[in-house]
Structure 1
């Protein structure tokens, strides 16, 4: 099975959508996504600087729209090649779950970007209420890393596998963790606005719940794995609820990768803006080929990986 992976926040870089919207249909999609999300994604995907697109309320819809845009292009190539895409699995990391929901048919593309626009603004507001942050802990023994995170009064917000756990919480706690890094581990501060996937995001949950509550959903049309526990999603309504609650709960990408292996993964394709999840896969899914779709030029390699596995 080939797994389509949709990245989370932090993967975006200035101008990363410039090549994509040279295609008229892709530009039209991004313009429609801008209207749905309430964010000028064309501007921010082509002209805005790193500090601007790092803002939570901009980064989140930008990343989700980019993943959907690149999936549309990939699916079109596969259709022309006569490949049945129904056998592909999909999962998203953090906010990437909204793109994954669209790829799996749980949400419409319009609803996915609309809801993530609400999510980004609500999480930005929650982050502004108290100074918090996140740091990646790379390497070390997992049990020692988790113990050090707990000792610093922090939460293991992203358990990414491949020797990476992201700690989140107060700035003082993150500083203490950095000063007392577990043996064999590096603590790397992340450029994010707050402690995502922790109790510090609790105020954003009811805001997204109100927006999601009346949104139409379908059960997934392909294998879809959840960040909550790495389990397969069978109910679209349950996954919608998980998308809401996940704001304030840890991401278990490690459990997702374990599920990929149990399902017989033969390759992983990361959608735009790609790089982070293929990097983790090289450590956590050793021997599994992967393709990072960063620009339209990468689509040929993605199609080749899928057709080779067919």
Structure 2
């Protein structure tokens, strides 16, 4: 079910490095979507379960770990959202989150994306060792002033992130960044905060990582995305796979134009922003950029009920967007079981409409894959029919949870 009813057009946003925290996968351990962890571990040869459950803050802060853990958890949460039968026609990711957005839109396969993210993180780690640097957030100065002060500094420093009006991030060598930070304060910045990172991300100091990543991107299958995906490099939506290859490569050495990306989405009438992944950084940036949006961050299983309440309010009256509940309506007590992969569907023969289904009960097969209900409830109806060829994430059955 496309998330457009009652709250305007909905876009899913995906966080980047810096949103990770120790134990961030713990609340998802017993959720059916946890099965993605094994696939990601196979793709990267990294123990993702250990990284998401046991890694301390210092280990997670290492760029190769932070990126991979954040991407995989974002995709796990997206899978949990899709199991409810919800999707979006718009996607945007901040820095690393762009890989999440492309995967969510179908442009990248999950296995390939996990492999690329792993290569990206390790390439950036190597670039940091070759060209050490750091970053600082600058609050309270216009974009032009921050751009000008970077140009005035005798050294290597650039604007790395346009996060929201009055909130930019600069990056460069340690000495140049210190000079730029002092100048920003002299120019009236409300606050200049050094970030706890060891690299000058999204600057020319990442050029060696770009070269290494480009080789991997060129050998990866990229398809036209389904729906809108807005790029960091120019803040515009793109469809051509070859364009996305160039954008993913250029992104490492180019600033993240998040303010412009949000502006593009708002101009397309997206008005509800759902952050899919750890933390709520992007939710805060959206509020700063356009306070009159609806916003929600989904990073724990308990947030799924809040999402359903936002997407499908149970009131029979018209909601505050002025739209009535025409057509299909999914109540907050209802859930859709969706297919985890493509294949022919066969339901379990002994299941009947109105029957009580237990959490984890086998309800059918898609190909050779068993489909277990992620909820307990009453079987209200079959959406897929026997021997129907399903696509991944296509709804199978409708349950009313108890």
Shorter-chain TM-score bucket reads over 0.9
Give 1:304 deviation, angstroms: 2.8
Provide the secondary structure at the position in 2 that maps to 1:165. Answer: strand
Question: Which residue matches 1:14?
Answer: 22
Given candidates 242, 258, 265, the residue that maps to 2:263 is: 258
**For 1:42-86, what per-residue CA distance to the aligned partner results, in whole angstroms no more than 9, with x for missing partners?**
111111111100001111111111111111101111x1xxx5x3x
- Aligned partners of 1:185, 1:298: CA distance in 2, in Å? 34
- Greater shift, 98-107 or 205-214, is seen at 205-214
Given candidates 67, 85, 89, the residue that maps to 1:60 is: 67
Question: Which residue matches 1:170?
Answer: 173
Kept in 2, the 8 Å contact 1:7–1:271? The answer is: yes
Question: Which residue matches 2:359?
Answer: none
Kept in 1, the 8 Å contact 2:89–2:226? The answer is: no
Question: Which residue matches 1:37?
Answer: 44
Kept in 2, the 8 Å contact 1:219–1:237? The answer is: no
Q: Would you say 1:88 and 2:89 are equivalent positions?
A: yes
Give 1:106 deviation, angstroms: 0.4
Q: Would you say 1:69 and 2:72 are equivalent positions?
A: no
Give the TM-score of the pair, scaled to structure 1: 0.93
Provide the secondary structure at the position in 1 that maps to 2:170. Answer: strand
Question: Which residue matches 2:136?
Answer: 135
Kept in 2, the 8 Å contact 1:269–1:292? The answer is: yes
Higher strand share: 2
* Alignment of structure 1 residues 113-124 onto 2, 5 Å: 113-124=114-125
CA change 1:38–1:138 in 2 (3 A) is: farther
Q: Would you say 1:51 and 2:52 are equivalent positions?
A: no
Give 1:133 deviation, angstroms: 0.6
Question: Which residue matches 1:125?
Answer: 126
Provide the secondary structure at the position in 1 that maps to 2:252. Answer: helix
* Structure number, greater radius of gyration: 2
Question: Which residue matches 2:288?
Answer: 283
Kept in 2, the 8 Å contact 1:39–1:61? The answer is: no
Give 1:236 deviation, angstroms: 2.3
Given candidates 297, 312, 315, the residue that maps to 1:307 is: 312
Kept in 1, the 8 Å contact 2:233–2:250? The answer is: no
Higher helix share: 1
- Aligned partners of 1:150, 1:185: CA distance in 2, in Å? 20
Give the TM-score of the pair, scaled to structure 2: 0.73
Kept in 1, the 8 Å contact 2:13–2:282? The answer is: yes
CA change 1:163–1:307 in 2 (3 A) is: farther
Give 1:305 deviation, angstroms: 2.6
Provide the secondary structure at the position in 1 that maps to 2:21. Answer: coil
Kept in 2, the 8 Å contact 1:126–1:200? The answer is: yes
CA change 1:28–1:124 in 2 (3 A) is: same
Unaligned runs of 5+ in 2: 1-8, 314-320, 326-402
Bigger RCO (CA 8 Å, 6+ sep): 1
**For 1:174-218, what per-residue CA distance to the aligned partner results, in whole angstroms no more than 9, with x for missing partners?**
212332323143111111120111110000112111111121121
Provide the secondary structure at the position in 1 that maps to 2:302. Answer: helix
Question: Which residue matches 2:10?
Answer: 2
